[in-house]
Amino acid sequence: MGAEGAGRRKDDHVRLAAAQQVEPAVRNGFDDIAFVHHALAGTDADRVDLGVEVAGGRWRVPFHINAMTGGSAATGRINRDLAIAARETGVAVASGSLSAALDDPSLLPTFRVLRDENPTGVVWANVGVERSADDARRAVDALGADALQVHLNSVQETVMPEGSRRFSSWPASLEAIRSAVEVPVVVKEVGFGLSARTLTRLHDLGIAYADVSGRGGTDFVRIENARRPGGDFGYLAGWGQSAVECLLDAPDPAPVLLASGGVRTPLDVVRALSLGARAVGVSGTFLAAVLEGGVDALVVRLREWTTHTRALLAVLGAESPAALVSTDLVIDGRTARFCATRDIDITAWARRSDAAPTPERSRHDR
Ligand SMILES: Cc1cc2nc3c(=O)[nH]c(=O)nc-3n(C[C@H](O)[C@H](O)[C@H](O)COP(=O)(O)O)c2cc1C
């Protein structure tokens, strides 16, 4: 496809993704996760440090603006707004796939703006797994990127009118990219989830970070199907695992996990962190904010999410995101059924805060 076609595709993606955001709220996997409330377990919000180490960098907050745009004039303007909001708030930001600019360097400024407007912030580049090792290096260099996201999107490619149907070379291509680039590689899905088997495979391929990016938020089956003249792939909507299911099913060892896909609120961020994500990516929800109110609206939103995330950690008695792993989680609904079929013990997740009981203490508790 020519660069003009790639640019039009990006504009379509933004328009169709934004349309999904204004639909009435739908339940997703995050709604299946509730915290057991312990009324005396809280801490002080000003004792909470939200900082996390991700891919060799120290982030101020455990959420980030995930991969979306670039490649057309309109999406270049969105990238500019994302970059300014990221700079003003210290939030990390990932670029949309640089494929269009790798094929047509005249489009590079629509991506490069992410770094130009945010020279000292955390900026990640993004390419599809089918790109060459040399392309991957060029993408990192173009943004002075701190890490490289490599996306796996076989379902999207299948429904995309101009998409690929050739996936067998992906593991070898991923390995070539990983050994060629000098920054950390973060492998991500685009909204269909990374299974336990995939995470094990990634670990075996030497991938240190993976964003499970699951079902329940932006749905690229519906986006690409709307771009097909016949709309004949609609029946695939809902394919894949939610981020929550992926986190619950994650193997050990596995890459360090990031989560995204359907994150709507700071509560969803805290749920994902409690399920073991190091950090949480947000695309559709932040896209809607920037399209509606520009850079100012996104800055307000990012500050609000920072304050709220800290407040929720205080209620849960967690002075850091890592401390959330001893919160007690009640798992319900479709996610509980997923756990039953995958032989995941949900009762253990509901009792994580129990201190190892001594015989006296458990007798007393009874
Ligand atoms: C408009 C738009 C464009 C996207 N483009 C990319 C992309 O170029 N590369 C990529 O890895 N993911 C891309 N994504 C996928 C997101 O990074 C994320 O995995 C997915 O949207 C699920 O998160 P969400 O529910 O918060 O939107 C895009 C998402 C949106 C909304």
Coil, helix or strand at residue 126: strand
The residues, ordered by sequence, that sit 6+ positions from 135 with a Cβ below 8 Å of its Cβ are 102, 127
Asked if residue 5 has pLDDT above 60, the reply is yes
For the CA of 13, the nearest atom of ligand 1: 1
- Of the pLDDT bands very low, low, confident and very high (cuts 50, 70, 90), residue 355 is low
- Of the pLDDT bands very low, low, confident and very high (cuts 50, 70, 90), residue 306 is very high
Asked if residue 358 has pLDDT above 70, the reply is no
Note whether residue 32 is domain-resident.
no
Q: Which residue's CA is minimally distant from atom 5 of ligand 1? A: 68
Note whether residue 293 is domain-resident.
yes
Asked if residue 361 has pLDDT above 80, the reply is no
**From start to end of the chain, where are the E strands?**
33-35, 52-54, 57-59, 63-65, 93-94, 123-128, 147-151, 185-188, 209-211, 256-260, 279-282, 329-331
Mean pLDDT of 3-7: 79
Note whether residue 37 is domain-resident.
no
Which amino acid, residue 356?
Answer: A
For the CA of 67, the nearest atom of ligand 1: 17
For the CA of 188, the nearest atom of ligand 1: 11
- Of the pLDDT bands very low, low, confident and very high (cuts 50, 70, 90), residue 1 is low
CATH number at residue 98: 3.20.20.70
Containing domain of residue 272, as a range?
Answer: 3-22+48-365
Nearest to 72 by CA among 96, 90, 48: 96
Q: How far is the C-alpha of 157 from the C-alpha of 195, rounded, in Å?
A: 18
Total number of domains constituting the chain: 1
Note whether residue 40 is domain-resident.
no
What residues line ligand 1, using a CB cutoff of 6 Å?
13-14, 17, 66-69, 96-97, 126, 149, 151, 188, 190-191, 213, 217-218, 260-263, 282-285, 287
Note whether residue 104 is domain-resident.
yes
pLDDT of residue 6: 85
Per-residue pLDDT of 227-259, as tens digits, reads 999 999 999 999 999 999 999 999 999 999 999
- How remote is the CA of residue 328 from the centroid of ligand 1, in Å? 30
- How remote is the CA of residue 249 from the centroid of ligand 1, in Å? 22
Mean pLDDT, all residues of the chain: 95
Q: Please give the C-alpha separations between residue 196 and each of 240, 246, 250, 355, in angstroms, as whole numbers.
A: 12, 7, 5, 29
Note whether residue 31 is domain-resident.
no
Note whether residue 41 is domain-resident.
no
pLDDT of residue 237: 92
- Of the pLDDT bands very low, low, confident and very high (cuts 50, 70, 90), residue 363 is very low
Written as six digits, the tokens of 361 are 């203490």
CB neighbourhood size of 296 (10 A): 14
Note whether residue 275 is domain-resident.
yes
- What pTM does this model have? 0.96
